Amino acid sequence: MSQPPPPETVVARLRSHGRALFWPALALVVVAAAMGYLSGRFDDEWQNLAVIVVGLVLILLLSLLPLVAWLGRNYTITTRRIVLRSGILVRSRQELLHSRGYDLTVRRNGLQSMFRSGDVRINTGLDKPVVLRDVPSADLVQATLHDLMEQSMGAVATRRQREQSVGDDLLDG
């Protein structure tokens, strides 16, 4: 009898490198400091209220929205596939099976090289390439995906051989 395939397990969950939050964090500190310094300094109450309202709007736009966008994009690598999820209000999900085979390329700019992160470009040969943007330890991600693809391709070839030999036995019998 044929053995059931091994269960799918999560190998890694990734996001873009955390340095993407540097500018939003800096904006939060600067705006909060400016709000603390300027609130209560004006004679008219509406001006003090305006400082707080403008500061809260700036915090929302410059800090909170980039944080939510960063949290909204993640990549999950399992033993069978890669799952890409993105979006805040409208969620998008894309899956790539390792057994389909693909070509991997790591691309880095100067800042990414300093942090050992990079863009892992996955070319499936069908549409435009899928890019895992600015993932930490990009070389390790690439090596892991190569290994998973190799294991998956070997499992598919073994299963096809078994199916073919069973089909041949049925034809002979």
Total count of domains within the chain: 2
* Nearest residue to 10 via CA among 72, 105, 75: 75
If asked whether residues 61 and 95 sit together in one domain, one would say no
Q: Are 65 and 59 in contact (CB under 8 A)?
A: no
Structure tokens at 5: 């395939």
If asked whether residues 107 and 161 sit together in one domain, one would say yes
If asked whether residues 53 and 106 sit together in one domain, one would say no
In this structure, what is the dihedral angle of CA atoms 129, 132, 137, 143, given to the nearest 10 degrees? Answer: -40
Query: What per-residue confidence (pLDDT) applies to 173?
Result: 54
If asked whether residues 111 and 33 sit together in one domain, one would say no
Indicate yes or no: pTM above 0.95. no
If asked whether residues 66 and 103 sit together in one domain, one would say no
Per-residue pLDDT of the chain (173 residues; tens, 9 = 90+): 566 777 889 999 999 999 999 999 999 999 999 999 999 999 999 999 999 999 999 999 999 999 999 999 999 999 999 999 999 889 999 998 988 888 999 999 999 999 999 999 999 887 788 999 999 999 999 999 999 998 887 766 666 666 666 555 555 55
If asked whether residues 161 and 117 sit together in one domain, one would say yes
If asked whether residues 65 and 82 sit together in one domain, one would say no
Through-space distance between the first and last CA atoms of the chain, rounded to whole angstroms: 18
Neighbours of 161 (CB within 10 A): 10
DSSP state of 60: I
If asked whether residues 109 and 62 sit together in one domain, one would say no
| Element counts in the chain: helices (H) and strands (E) | 5, 7
Residue 4 within a domain? no
If asked whether residues 80 and 62 sit together in one domain, one would say no
Residue 13 within a domain? no
Q: Exposure string (b/e) for 73-98, b if CB count within 10 Å is 16 or more?
A: bebebbbbbbbbeeeeeeeeeeebeb
For residue 62, the enclosing domain spans 20-70
If asked whether residues 83 and 166 sit together in one domain, one would say yes
How far is residue 161 from each of residues 149, 152, 157, measured CA to CA in Å? 18, 14, 6
